[in-house]
Structure 1
Amino acid sequence: MGNNGRTGHAYRKLIAAVKARPDGWVCNRCGGSIDPGLRNPHPQSWSLDHLVPLDHGGPLLDPSNAAAAHLTCNSKHGNSIKKKIIASQVW
């Protein structure tokens, strides 16, 4: 599959589902808001980030493996796995 399934109906449905989440317009990499008016290839535009990269066996269409990211933030990390940051209570 040359395009890795990234152009089909199921992939577009995943993108729509991620954008509809409460955090669908917040970059999971930097925490900044993503402007819905910006379009690819703008560096701060919305992109779909696979939390476990496809190269590492992450599922392409699993919503739990998908999050929003700025295009630049997503490109910058490449195929590295995001380390989950767990917020602790305020001391």
Structure 2
Amino acid sequence: MVTSTELREMLRRIEAFIGITDERMEDPTLVDFLTQIVTLRLDAEKTKSEINSYRNDIDERMAEDLNFREATTLQLEGLHKENENLRA
């Protein structure tokens, strides 16, 4: 999550990059533009966090699937050996 200090720093860098003056800050179009930039940044952070969460879920499910397959393989091998012993 982005802190207010980080947001202020981002805004300061944007202002410096664009060359914003107090006079320009009174322009509602510029304020709207800067608000949209900050909103996009926050949305990107949220999306990144959600993607990481989905990746973790997928990794956990893949591990569960692998464990299930290994357990099933061991059971089948045991049944195969038991079947061979019964035939002998």
Q: TM-score, normalised by structure 1?
A: 0.29
The structure showing larger relative contact order (alpha-carbon pairs under 8 Å, at least 6 residues apart) is: 2
Query: Is the helix fraction higher in 1 or 2?
Result: 2
Q: TM-score, normalised by structure 2?
A: 0.30
